[in-house]
Chains A and B, each alone.
Chain A
Amino acid sequence: MEKNKPTVLIVDDMPINRELLIDIIGAEYNTIEAANGVEAIKIIEDNSEKIAAILLDAMMPELDGFGVLRILGERGLLESMPVIMISAEGSPEYIAMGYDLGVVDYISRPFDPNIVIRRLRNVIMLYAKQQVLTSIIKEQISEREENNSMLIDVLSSVVEFRNGESGPHILHIRRLTELLLKELAKVDPKYKMTLPEISLWSTASAMHDIGKIAIDDKILNKPGRLTDEEYNIMKKHSMYGYEILDGLEWKNAPLIEAAKQICRWHHERWDGRGYPDGLKGDEIPIPAQVVALADVYDALTSVRVYKPAYSHEKAIEMISGGECGEFNPDLIKCLLKVSGKLKDYLDSDDNADYDIIAERTFDSMRDRINEAK
């Protein structure tokens, strides 16, 4: 086999027909022969990466051309492997059946060799181009998604960093939100979301505390307990976050809309005793409920100026025991269900890169502000 030639599989029960096709296309392609459908399927299974196109006879013993097409279709191979049917069968029903089953072209016998050569060339080019394009687009989309998420995490971490809540907080909230949203759909179909929706909400969750940018340093970083007055100011961060986002030109974009809800309502509680709006039960959007729970869990398991880090077990116990306010019972059910794998899941794959970027961004921002003063 010559290396640089594409490979074409020729499937025909008549040796003379195969020989004819090999003579026609052999200069341009490596050829593999199969004498019936069963043989063809076996060869395709073993060489699916290598075969650029198939020339397929319709009538054959064992398994005919249509049978081959059905099997290839079922296995999803027709998307990457163009099939040209060649047959002495000229009746419109047969040709229509071929197209219905996924052939890209149909050539009747007797054929002009140049037509076979040209059509084969076109089909192979078309499929090759399509595959290259598909892979380029996929790559670009995933790169853009990654950049978007990273940017949101970096900016959100800048805010958290000012609060002394560094580390993987943003990543934990994002992961917990994603995990709990997926799990909720298993508890009750009414919570069902599409994967892009889940991805949207978990990306938005990273922004839950951006309103803290508007809270005075002295209150934000006060060692020790806040006075009632200070606590009331601190509580305004959820509304501030909402207002910051609502002032944006893109305030109605899906991601910003999601972030607005999460910012505003991630301190509401199931029994109506949260803030700022005192929403109750189902009035609180599910993603905001999820982020509220995620935020509490991560706060409990992290060090704060006023408390040590509690263990995972202790945090779960405190939340399910109602010590941190009341949550949707379905949500508690989910938390208990995923509890076993939670710790490993949150700490898998290091987030150090985000932290370093956030820290650096924050430092340079502070320097610039100082210079301006």
Chain B
Amino acid sequence: MKISVADAYKSLNEDYDAVLSRLLGRENLVVKYLKMFAADTTYEQLSAAAEEGNAEDALKAAHSMKGMCFNLGLLNLGTACSDLVDAVRGGEYDLDALYARIKEEYGKVAEALDKCLD
């Protein structure tokens, strides 16, 4: 039993209306981008880099994720990515902890998308 995209955003504590209005008010477009997001491999690149302790590659992947998330209104995950970018750039960081937060947020998004997308 699938849930609506709006309900999926609600379960993630994200503002679906804001996303919809930003994406020209067309739900089919939102669905198209969410599908592309679900199929995207940037998160896998981020995981691999974080597990290897490669902060530079992790930063690049997190930066890409951040842009996508913000456009899709996935602000919790986007912010977690943004925090990693800022911290690594700042030079003082705990890569494992930063990645753990992204992993957790990504898990929630993946679960919600799984419920609403075909």
Contacts and interface: CB of A to CB of B under 8 A. Distances in A.
Contact of A61 (B24, B60, B66, B67): B60
Contacts of B33: 16, 19-20
Nearest to A61: B60
Contacts of B68: 14, 16-17
Contacts of B64: 13-14, 59
Given A59-B63, A59-B64, A110 B71 contact: yes
Contacts of A254: none
A87 interface: yes
B70 A110 contact: yes
Nearest to B64: A14
Given A59-B60, A61-B60, A88-B63, A16 B36 contact: yes
B87 to A, nearest CB: 13
A111 B32 CA distance: 18
A109 B70 contact: yes
Interface of A: 13-17, 19-20, 23-24, 57, 59, 61, 87-89, 109-113
Interface string B68-87: 10110100000000100000
Interface of B: 22-24, 29, 32-33, 36-37, 40, 42, 60, 63-64, 66-68, 70-71, 73, 82
30 contacts: A13-B64, A14-B64, A14-B67, A14-B68, A15-B36, A15-B40, A16-B37, A16-B68, A16-B71, A17-B67, A17-B68, A19-B32, A19-B33, A20-B33, A20-B71, A57-B67, A59-B60, A59-B63, A87-B67, A88-B63, A88-B66, A88-B70, A88-B82, A109-B67, A109-B70, A109-B71, A110-B71, A110-B73, A111-B22, A113-B22
A112 B32 contact: no
B63 A112 contact: no
Contacts of A113: 22-24
